[in-house]
Amino acid sequence: MTTGGQSARVFATPAGVKLGTLDQIADGAARNYVLQLRAGRFHGFVVRQGEAVYGYVDRCPHAGLPLAQELDAYLTPDGARIMCSWHGAVFAIADGRCEGGPCMGARLTPWPVRVDGGVIVTADT
């Protein structure tokens, strides 16, 4: 589906899409993913903490903008939280809850992902 010549934006993905190997994301870092689906284009990111991964839709609950202004720059300098580079809101990695900034108490939209045999895969909601 297109709108004005552009692919529509979607905010969920089907389960079972292989995103890549876990080792493609450094421990304590994040990576952006853009998936072209039949319904439109999905933008999300995955944060790695050890063997655990946390996925979120790349959209700030405050202004609806993508969180990172630079590719894969989703975390605070110390890597402890997710940060919106536009307005400085910070979010807990484990649950996406805003812990400071203009959208206090709001949450990032989760993107269910899991690690299966060393590969990051989209999961059921």
Domain limits of the chain?
2-122
Residue 46 scores a pLDDT above 70: yes
Beta strands in 58-112 (DSSP E): 81-83, 90-92, 98-100
Q: Which carries the bigger pLDDT value, residue 90 or residue 3?
A: 90
Reported as a pLDDT band with limits 50, 70 and 90, residue 6 is low
State how far the Cα of 102 lies from the Cα of 19, in Å rounded to an integer: 32
> Which CATH architecture group holds 2-122?
3-layer Sandwich (2.102)
Residue 109 backbone phi and psi in degrees, to 5: -80, 120
From residue 121, give the alpha-carbon distance in Å to each of 18, 33, 49, 63, 124: 5, 12, 16, 28, 10
State how far the Cα of 53 lies from the Cα of 42, in Å rounded to an integer: 18
Q: Are 14 and 35 in contact (CB under 8 A)?
A: no
Q: Which residue has the tokens 């979120």?
A: 56
Residue 4 scores a pLDDT above 90: no
User: pLDDT at position 42, please?
Assistant: 97
